Chain A
Amino acid sequence: MEATREIYWNVGHGVVWPMYLFAIVAIGICAWGFWLRLPVYRLGKPLNRLDQLPRRVALMVRTMLSQSQVLRVLEPGCLHALFFWGFGLLFVGTLLIMAQADFSQPLLGVVFLKGAFYELYSLVLDVAGLAALLMLGGLLVRRFFGKPAGLETIRDDYVVHALLFAILMTGFVAEGVRMSASELALNPELARFSPVGKLVGQLFLGLSAAELSLAHKLLWWVHFILAMGFIAAIPFTKLRHIFATSANYLFADLGPKGGIVTINLEDESIEQFGAAKVADLTWKDIFDADACTSCKRCQDRCPAWNTEKPLSPMKVVQQIGEVAFGRPDASLCETVTEDVLWACTTCRACQEICPADIEHVNKIIEMRRNLTLMEGAFPGDEVRTAINNFEVNGNPFGLAYAARGDWSDGLPVQLMAQDPDVDILYFVGCYASFDKRNQDVAKNFVRICSAAGIRVGILGKEEKCCGEPPRKLGNEYLYQQMAQENIKIIKGYGVKKIVTSCPHCCNTLGRDYQDLGFDVPVEHYTTYIDRLLAEKRLTLKPEQFEFTYHDSCYVGRYLDIFEEPRKVLQAAGGRLTEMDKSGYDSFCCSAGGGRILAEEKLGSRINVARVGMAHATGAPLLVSNCPFCLTMFEDGIKTGGCEGELRVRDLAEIVAERLTI
C-alpha cells in the first residue's frame, strides 16, 4: 500500500473556502496589528538600516534559522531553539500540505506527499511536534516553577503558553484520532512513521467510526482556529517578537562596534541635542522595544544591576516602548530617571548578549546628551569639576597641561614637537600621563618598544584627553572640541600609526574620530606587543606565574581582542585561571561610560565585585590592560580586603619584566 494519506480526510474539501477565509482574516488581523504600530515607529527620527540589503537579509535568515544568538545562553537557549525548529517544521509541513492539496494537485495533478518522502515527512513532523511540545513544557517549568530571578511574567506569557500548548496538543490528538480511524488498521507500515500519532491513536481504538469522525472534525476545527488565533495574536502579544526580533536582525547596526552618532555642531538648525522625548530617538530605538523579548539576559549581565543600582538595560528599552506607545510627549529622562541613566558604564555586556540585537547603550547616551547638553546636568559635583578641568587643562584632574609629558623624562621617547620622525605615536592618555600607578605602565610600554627598536613619539603637552569620558557622559561639545584639537596636532605631524595603552583612547581615536575626518590607524598595545613577539622583534624569557585575566570592556567587547593578551601572558610564563565571567561575558570594572569621573553613590561597588571574582579564582595576580581597570582594581583590592592575597598588574609590566634585553 502506498505511503500517503488523503488530505482533508474526514473534513472534506468543503473546508477549503471557509479555511482560507479564516486564514485571510487572521493574516489580515496580524497585518493590521503591525500596521497600527507603524506610525509609532515613525515617531522616531529617520535612520537608514536597509543599506547593504543582501548582506542584511543573509544575516537575518542565518541568525533566525540558526538561533545562534538565542543559543548563547545554553539552557533557555536550547529550549527556545528546539521549540523554534520544531514549531517551524510543523509550519513548513502545513505549508507543504497546502501546496499539494490546494495548488499542485488540483492545478497540475502533482502529488508529492507520498512514498518515501511522505514517510520521512511524517516522521520529521511527528518528532518536531514532540520536540516542540517537550521544549514548551521545559520553558513552562522554567518560567512558572523555576522562576529565574528577574524574569517577569505577564498576561502574555500565560496566553502564549496556553495557546501554543493547545495548538500542539490538538494537533497530536487530531492526528491520533485520524490514525485510529485509518492508518492504524489500514496501513500499519505507514503508522510506524508517526510514532507519537500512533501512540495517541491507540488511545481511541475503542471508539466507533462515527465517534472518531465527529471527534476528528471537531479537533480539526479547534486546531485550525487556534492556529489562526495564533497568527492574529502575534502583533498584540509577546509573539510580536517572531517578526520584530527577526526584523531586528535585518536592521542590525553594521557599523563599527560602539559607533555613536556624531552631532554636526556646525548645523545651526538643530535645536534639540540628545533625546528628551521619543521623537528625538530613531525609529529603530522604538522598534527595539518591540524586538525585546524580556529575556533579561542584559539585566543579568549589567554591572549596575548586579550591584543594586536601579539600571536595567531591559527596563530602559521597555520604558522607551511604553512611552512611545502610551505617552509619546512624556519626558524620557524623567521616565527612565537620571539615576538610571548615569549608572551605565557603557560596558556593552547588554548589547553583546542580546538575542534580539537591541542597541541599549546609544539610547542611554542619547538621553545623557539631553541631560548634559540641554540641561547642563551632571551625575554629581565631582563630575562638574572634572568637566571644568577638561575644559581648562585637557585632563580630568585639573593638573597643569604643561606637565602632561613629564612622566617621560629620561626615557627613550621623542617629543613630536621636537622630532616627529617616529615609528609610532604613543597616545598616552590622561591616566598614564598623570597617575603615578599608570605612569609605570606607560614607562614599561616605552621600554618594550625600545627593546624592539621602535622609535616612539609622544605629543606631551600638546596631547589632550581623547574626549571619551565626556562623550560617553553625553557632552558631545566638549568631546568634539578636544578631539578636533588632537586631530589637528596629530595630522600636523603626519603620523602614520598610533598605539595607545588605553582602550578607551583606542576606540575613540580609531573609530569615533573617523567621523571627524581622522583616518590614522590606531592600535591597542596588546595586539601591538603580540605582533612584536610573533615577528620575533621582541623576545621574552618566561618566568612562571599564576594569574587571572580581566577582559576590559573596551579591549574585549568593543575591540574584540581576547586571544592576544592571553597569548602574550602565557608566552611570558603565565598560567591562566579564567574567571567565571570572561571574554564576551566579562564584568565591567565600573569606570566606563565616564563613570571614572563619578562617585558610585548607589548600591555596592562594582570594582569590589569584580575583584571578588578575581580573588575567587585563587590566582594571586589579576592582569588587566586598561588604565581605568587598573585604577579601579587597585582601589577594589583595598576596599574588598584582598590586600596581600591579590595584586593587580598591567600586561605591559609583566612583559617588560621578562624582556631579554
Chain B
Amino acid sequence: MKILICVKQVPDMESRFKPDNAGVWFSDTDLAFRMNEYDEYAVEQAVQLREQLGDAADLTVLSIGPDRIVEALKKALAMGCDRAVHIQDPAAALKDPWQIAAIIAAFAKDKGFDLIFTGLQSQDRGSAQVGVTVAERLGFACTTTLVGFAFADGVITAKRELEGGVKGVVKLRTPALVTCQLGLNVPRYPTLPNIMKSKKKELVTIPVADLLHEEALAVTARFYPPAKKGGGIVLEGDVGDMAEKLIAILKEKTNVLR
C-alpha cells in the first residue's frame, strides 16, 4: 500500500508576524518554523497505519517550499515515514491553494498512491482547500476533518468532526484522500534511534517548475495586522457601568455575545 503524506512547514503561531517587502505575506525574519500541527496528525496516522500493515505499507512524505522546510520533512522521517520529497520552491508562499494542489497532484499522478493523508488546513494560511482539491484532481474519494480513522480490507472508516461535537461516520474505498483534524491521535515524539535512522533515509528534491503548470486563481493583495481589537482597554469605576461597557465591547469585538 503506497501512502503519501503532505506536510507544510509553518511559522510558530506565537511569532510576531511582519509583512514582507511586497506586503502580501509575512517576512521570515524572527520567525520560528515548525511542522503544521494538523499535518503532524496526518503523519502519525500514516505511521500507525504502517504499524498495522507492516512492511506492506510504504510512506512518502512530501512538502513544498524553500530549503528550510527540509526540517519538517526530517521530523516526518523521524516519526516513521520512509522517504521524503522536497518540492523546491522558494516562492511557495505566493502560490494559491489551487497551484499547491496542482503541484501535489502532478507529483502523485502516476505514482499509484492508494491513500493520501493531509492536514485539514495549514495554521498560517488556513484555507482548508489543498487536500480536497488534490483529491478532486486525482479523482480520489475524499473526506475531511478526521478525528477517527480505521482501515480494513481496502475500506477506510472515517469519523468526521462536525460542529457541536457531533461526529459523522463515513466509509470510503481507496484510492482516497483524507484530511486530519487536531485530536485525531497523539503524534509521537520521535525516538532517538529513529532520529538517527532518519538521517539516512532518502530525500528527493524536485524543482517546482517540473510539476507546476497552472496559473494562480486567486491573489493575495495585502497582508496586514487586524485593527487593534481593544488594545488594552482599562475599565475602572462603578461596577454596573463597567459591566455595561464590557458587554458593549464584547458585542462589538467578539461574536460571543449577540
Interface positions of A (Cβ within 8 A of B): 265, 268, 271, 273, 372-376, 378, 384, 387-388, 391-394, 398-403, 461, 476-477
Assembled-state Cα–Cα distance A226/B136 (Å): 90
Assembled-state Cα–Cα distance A295/B174 (Å): 65
Q: Check if B206 is an interface residue, CB within 8 A of chain A.
A: no
- Does the CB pair B12–A392 fall under 8 Å? yes
Contacts of B188 in A (CB 8 A): 376
Cβ 8 A contact of A477, one of B12, B14, B34, B192: B192
- Does the CB pair B32–A400 fall under 8 Å? yes
- Residue ID in chain B nearest A274 by CB atoms: B192
- Does the CB pair A398–B192 fall under 8 Å? no
- Does the CB pair B14–A400 fall under 8 Å? yes
- Does the CB pair B30–A400 fall under 8 Å? yes
Q: Check if B170 is an interface residue, CB within 8 A of chain A.
A: no
- Does the CB pair A391–B34 fall under 8 Å? yes
Contacts of B30 in A (CB 8 A): 400-402, 461
- Residue ID in chain A nearest B197 by CB atoms: A268
Whole-angstrom distance from the CB of B199 to the nearest CB of chain A?
9
Assembled-state Cα–Cα distance A388/B32 (Å): 12
Q: Check if B68 is an interface residue, CB within 8 A of chain A.
A: no
- Does the CB pair A477–B16 fall under 8 Å? no
A-B contact pairs, 25 of them (CB 8 A): A265-B192, A268-B196, A273-B193, A373-B191, A374-B192, A374-B193, A375-B191, A376-B189, A376-B191, A378-B189, A384-B189, A387-B189, A392-B12, A392-B33, A393-B12, A399-B14, A400-B15, A400-B16, A400-B32, A401-B32, A402-B15, A461-B30, A476-B192, A477-B192, A477-B195
Assembled-state Cα–Cα distance A401/B30 (Å): 8
Assembled-state Cα–Cα distance A393/B34 (Å): 10
Q: Check if B190 is an interface residue, CB within 8 A of chain A.
A: yes
Interface positions of B (Cβ within 8 A of A): 12, 14-16, 30-34, 188-193, 195-196
- Does the CB pair A393–B16 fall under 8 Å? no
Whole-angstrom distance from the CB of A115 to the nearest CB of chain B?
72
Whole-angstrom distance from the CB of A352 to the nearest CB of chain B?
31
Assembled-state Cα–Cα distance A378/B34 (Å): 20
- Does the CB pair B192–A273 fall under 8 Å? yes
- Does the CB pair B191–A403 fall under 8 Å? no
Whole-angstrom distance from the CB of A404 to the nearest CB of chain B?
11
Whole-angstrom distance from the CB of B98 to the nearest CB of chain A?
29
Assembled-state Cα–Cα distance A537/B42 (Å): 60
Contacts of B189 in A (CB 8 A): 372, 376, 378, 384, 387
Assembled-state Cα–Cα distance A271/B195 (Å): 12
- Does the CB pair A376–B190 fall under 8 Å? yes
Assembled-state Cα–Cα distance A393/B14 (Å): 9
Q: Nearest 6 pairs between A and B by C-beta?
A: A376-B189, A402-B30, A373-B192, A392-B34, A400-B14, A392-B12
- Residue ID in chain A nearest B75 by CB atoms: A391
Contacts of A375 in B (CB 8 A): 191
Contacts of A477 in B (CB 8 A): 192, 195
Contacts of B195 in A (CB 8 A): 477
Contacts of B34 in A (CB 8 A): 388, 391-392
Contacts of B196 in A (CB 8 A): 268
- Does the CB pair A400–B12 fall under 8 Å? yes
Contacts of B32 in A (CB 8 A): 392-394, 400-401
Whole-angstrom distance from the CB of B37 to the nearest CB of chain A?
9
Contacts of A268 in B (CB 8 A): 196
Contacts of A461 in B (CB 8 A): 30
Contacts of B190 in A (CB 8 A): 376
Whole-angstrom distance from the CB of B33 to the nearest CB of chain A?
8
- Residue ID in chain A nearest B17 by CB atoms: A400
